[in-house]
Amino acid sequence: MKKLCLMLLGVLALGSAADAGHWRRARCCDPCAAQCSPSPCCVSAPAPAPVTTACAPAMVERTVLESVMVTETRKVQVTEYKQEPRVRKYTVTKMVPREEQRTRTVAYTEMEPRVREEKYIECKTVTETVDQAYTEMVPYTETRKGTRCVVTPVTKNVDQQYTVMVPYTETRKGTRCVLTPVTENVQQSYTVNVPYQEQRTGTRTVVECVPVVQTRTVCEDQGHWEQRCVPVANGCQSCGVATNCCRPRRHFACGCDACAPCASCAPVPVCNTVVTQNVWVPKIVQREVQCTVNVQQCKQVPFTYTVTLCKPEVRTRTVQVCKMVQSQQDYDYQVQLCKPEVRTRTVQVCEMVQSQQEYEYQVQLCKAEPRVRKVTVCKQVPEEKTRMINYTVCVQKTRQEPYTVTVCDPVNEEKTENYTVCVPVCVEKEVQVQVCKMVEKKIMVPAPQPCCQPAPCCR
């Protein structure tokens, strides 16, 4: 719509420009010719005077539509999910171990000691002195003469030719492909998902607590307290319960402390004291009591919820497509080349000249000289002996052996599991939407001029 308004404004501007041109060409032949030139004929009339404001085109107020993007707040239905706890029962198989007695045959080896007689040879070492002849190499030095080749360097100047690559620049012509962008309007179809709401009915599980009266057995202790007399002897007792005794010492009665006896006390026979104590006599009584217990029960409840769906809708719009048009274009470019050029230079060349030269050198030699020395030699003399050897033999045996095997029996057990389910809930939310609206706008444009008829004297 915005492009259509721009095109309308362009047409109006072109119309006003055409009217202005017609005003300049008409001169004396338009309705304002009387004001432009006093002469009745345009041919003999002098140059027209400057156009006054009375001859200017009139401006007219027009109303055009201009597209404006406005942000609006709209309410939409959104489906959200909330967590809902539920309970389900499932069966678990457990392996219960039990022990089982079995018997098996075990093969084992037992080491049995034995003795055997064995003959062996033992060597004795015998030492004796023997004369041994040997040869020793005695070193000596000898002077000899020889000839060797000596190389002497000789330098001389030699002319040498070499080639140098001289660079130069050459201009060449080439053709390259140039891409020019061209914009054109193309009708394009696109699909828009239009939302709509639909009412649906479902069933959900609701857990309710139902009070149930149950009877259980409880135990009560309906006993009572009784006062009973307990005899307490005064021997080695505290001072509070001791009677018929002398002054206590170290918080005990006389005679109780073996390290500090009471010498001033006369021997007193051991006396007994009776103490009264409270004793609880229990009486366990069982009775039945009624109590109310909340039991959870599940039931299916129907409910209605709203689902937001979308249906596709095909629409058409005009888009500008930019295409690249290929064209060939000539251009000049510089090429860097090299051409070979032969040059001459003088270089120094070193040559090696050989010559023979005599010299003396020392040689280290050895001569053999026989000698005699005393050497001690050890000999091994064999001797036969007898010995008793203890050895062990492995004997294979078998025995019956009881053992315990753990066998697992499968047992099914029912368990309860708490899990969470996502329940859809329809919620209304406010969203910001960009809307294109057409707004009226007042503009001033030149009024259209009537077509001028040429005067009789005009060419």
Is the pTM higher than 0.75? The answer reads: no
- DSSP letter string over 42-92? TTT--PPPPP-GGGSPPEEEEEEEEEEEEEEEEEEEEEEEEEEEEEEEEEE
**Among the listed residues 419, 425, 421, 420, the one whose alpha carbon sits nearest the alpha carbon of residue 81:** 425
Confidence of residue 202 (pLDDT cuts 50, 70, 90): confident
Interatomic CA distance for residues 307 and 311, integer angstroms: 13
For residues 368-372, give the mean pLDDT: 88
Interatomic CA distance for residues 122 and 258, integer angstroms: 83
Confidence of residue 243 (pLDDT cuts 50, 70, 90): very low
pLDDT above 50: residue 395: yes
Tell me the pLDDT tens digit for each residue of 319-337: 888 888 888 888 888 888 8
Tell me the pLDDT tens digit for each residue of 133-153: 888 888 888 888 888 888 888
Q: Which residue has the higher pLDDT, 321 or 261?
A: 321
Kindly give the pairing relationship between strand 224-233 and strand 284-446.
unpaired
The pLDDT value given to residue 37: 42
The pLDDT value given to residue 32: 39
pLDDT above 70: residue 224: yes
Confidence of residue 7 (pLDDT cuts 50, 70, 90): low
Mean of pLDDT over the chain: 77
Query: Are 80 and 428 a contacting pair, CB within 8 Å?
Result: no
The pLDDT value given to residue 272: 54
